[in-house]
Structures are given as C-alpha cells and as structure tokens.
Chains A and B, each alone.
Chain A
C-alpha cells in the first residue's frame, strides 16, 4: 500500500482504473435495479414494500463500510503520516454522510407501512443516527482549523474514537430488543435470504461500493489539485 501513497503514482493509477470502475458501477446498479424492480418476488409478509430493501440495505452497508475506510485512513494518517490518508478520509466523509442519510430516510419509508411508525428510538436506529452525526462532525472538524493538517488530525481522532459505534450498529439488533430485523445476509451461518432476493441485493451492494470507489477517486484527485493550488498561492504570497 505504501507504493500507492505517492500522489503522482496514485493519480496515474486512478486515471487508468477510474473509467472501468465507473462503467462497472453503472452496469451493476442498472442490473440490480432491473432485478430489484422487475424480477425479484414480493415478500409473502411485506408484499411489494420489500423492494425498499434493495436501496435501504446497500445504503446502510455503505454507511458502515465508508466509516470503516475513514477510520483505517485516519489510523494510517496518525501513525504513518501517509500523504494520501487524510485526503481519502476527507473525500469519503460527505459520501458516507449521504449514504447514512439515505439509510435513515429509506428505513423510515419502510418503517411506516411495516411497523406503523416513521421512527423509533431503539438501538439500531439511534446508533445509525449517531453515525450520521459522527460524519457531520468529521466534515466540520476537517474545515475548522486554519491549518489543514491540524484539521485532518482532529478529524482523524474523532473518526477513531467514533469507530466504537460501528460494531454497536452491527450487533445492536442482537444485543437489544428492537423493531429492526436481524441480519439476513452477513451472518456467520451464511445468508438466510432467498437467492431471488439475495442476487439483486448483492448487485446493488457491489454497485454502490464501486460507485463510492469511483466517487472517492474523483474527490481525492480534486483535493490533490486543491493542495497544489494552495501551495502555489502560498509561494506566490511569499514572493510578493
């Protein structure tokens, strides 16, 4: 991984793989949407409302996955001072915040017809709401200091401390009684969901993951250029 921490090498690599990832992401999401809306069956209990699962569950997976990426990037930023780690964290947190928001909103839209309420203050929903605020705090801290490096360090510490929330979210449905159903895909004994629903879900899940990867590469590139712009502005100010 150290080899890719070099910004020049990173840009060359990302320029090569970005188009492939983007096409693959679009293709998987298109296939996933088709399977989710036209092929997969209605649930015997939940009827057609079960289709909300195909956007809700991948969004929730991404909310946790992106936070894990940010925590890992933060650790490598604090420990090894990777030049790209801060940028990966900075580029990722707005994407994570969006997916967490989507998980909450689509969950609410699913909860109303199935549970009879838009919201309950139970462990799963509350811990995901906390995750959303962690993302917002991370974004705010990144920009809260005059020095970008100090902002990144403060945000990295927040990300690492907040990581405790990720296993809490994952196991909240087992540790506490809740309206939310337990995991049916990521289980130790294998998925308990029928293949006709599992495949569209996996296509959407992988599509969302590649969408994040493509978007993250675009945003890191943007940040790298912004860093060069700032450096140039600083030298220009010194010279004048």
Chain B
C-alpha cells in the first residue's frame, strides 16, 4: 500500500508526470482509432460503389486514380 502510494505520488511530481503520460496515451489512441474508423468507412463506401457501378468503367477509372 505504501509502495503503491509512493508510485502514484511520484515523489511529489505526480501532478506533472501522470498528466504527461495520460495526454500522450490519449492522443496516440485517439489518432489510431480515428484512422482505423476512417479506413473502415472508406472500405465500406468502396464496397457499396463496387456493388452499384458497372465493373469495367470503374476498373479503368480506378487505375487512373492518383492522389486525392
């Protein structure tokens, strides 16, 4: 208990150390989640479009598609 308490207070610097680790974890996890969500959305949109657009024209357009 004593040891756990010392760990959380960080020798009096807990108020600076934990927010630093916290904000880093928060932003890195948020960025990862947002990027994965966007990939999934785009993949679903592409699937929908492939289902509705005729295959041949779409294939040609896809081959020409450059940076967006």
User: Chain A residues in contact with chain B, CB under 8 A?
Assistant: 33, 37, 42, 47-49, 51-52, 55-56, 59, 83, 86-87, 90, 94-95, 98, 101-102, 105-106, 109-110, 112-113, 148-149, 152, 211, 215, 218-219, 221-223, 225-236, 239
Interface of B is mostly: helix
User: If A83-B67, A90-B67 touch, does A55 touch B24 (CB 8 Å cutoff)?
Assistant: yes
Question: Which residues of chain B come closer than 8 Å to A228, judged between CB atoms?
Answer: 46, 61-62, 65
B11 near A98: Cβ-Cβ < 8 Å: no
Question: Which residues of chain A come closer than 8 Å to B24, judged between CB atoms?
Answer: 55, 59, 102, 106
User: If A51-B10, A218-B36, A229-B42 touch, does A234 touch B17 (CB 8 Å cutoff)?
Assistant: no
From A55, A101, A102, A231, give the contact of B65 (CB < 8 A).
Answer: A231
With the chains together, A51 CA to B13 CA distance in Å? Answer: 10
Q: Apart from A106-B24, A231-B61, what 6 extra A-B contacts exist at CB < 8 Å? A: A83-B66, A110-B16, A215-B32, A232-B49, A235-B53, A239-B57
Query: How many residues of chain B have a CB within 8 Å of chain A?
Result: 36
Q: Smallest Cβ distance from A233 to chain B, in angstroms? A: 8
A7 nearest in chain B by CB position: B65
B68 near A227: Cβ-Cβ < 8 Å: yes
Question: Which residues of chain B come closer than 8 Å to A221, judged between CB atoms?
Answer: 39
B39 nearest in chain A by CB position: A222
User: Chain B residues in contact with chain A, CB under 8 A?
Assistant: 7, 10-13, 16-17, 19-21, 23-24, 27-28, 31-32, 35-36, 38-39, 42-43, 45-46, 49, 53, 57-58, 60-62, 64-68
User: If A90-B67, A98-B31, A105-B23 touch, does A232 touch B58 (CB 8 Å cutoff)?
Assistant: yes
Q: Smallest Cβ distance from A114 to chain B, in angstroms? A: 9
Question: Which residues of chain B come closer than 8 Å to A235, judged between CB atoms?
Answer: 53, 57-58, 60-61
